[in-house]
Amino acid sequence: MALASPQVKAVCVEANEFQHLSNQFRVRGVPHTVINRRASFVGALPEPDFVAAVLEGAGVVLDEPHEAPSGPSTEISA
C-alpha cells in the first residue's frame, strides 16, 4: 500500500531488536500490523482481507459493503 500511495507510510521493525516497541504494541506474533497506533491485527491475511483490515483500522468508511477480515483482529487500548 505504501508503494501505491504517498499518503501511506510503512515501517518494518524487527521485534527482537526493538523490544520496547514490541512491548508497547503487545507483539505476540508476527506479522503484527499496527494502524495509526489505534488498531492492529496479527497474521498474514489474503490481500483483500489485509486491505479491508487496514482501511477499517484507519477509520475509512467504504461506499461498498465488504466482508469482515477473516483473520484475527485486536484493538490497541491506550
- Does any domain span residue 10? no
What domain range includes position 25?
A: 19-75
The verdict on residue 1 lying in a domain is: no
Position 66 pLDDT exceeds 60: no
Query: Is residue 13 situated within a structural domain?
Result: no
Does residue 65 sit within a domain? Answer: yes
Q: Looking at the domain assignment, is residue 39 inside a domain?
A: yes
- Calculate mean pLDDT across residues 31-59: 91
Q: How many domains does the chain have?
A: 1
Does residue 66 belong to any structural domain of this protein? Answer: yes
Confidence of residue 32 (pLDDT cuts 50, 70, 90): very high
Confidence category of residue 61, pLDDT binned at 50, 70, 90: confident
* 12 falls within a domain: no
For the chain, the helix, strand and coil percentages under 3-state DSSP, each to the nearest 5: 20, 15, 65
Residue 3 lies in a domain: no
Query: Which amino acid would we find at residue 3?
Result: L
Q: Quick one: pLDDT at residue 74?
A: 56
Is pTM beyond 0.75? Reply is no
Identify the band that residue 24 occupies on the pLDDT scale cut at 50, 70 and 90.
very high
Adjacency order of strands within the sheet including 32-35:
32-35, 39-42, 73-75
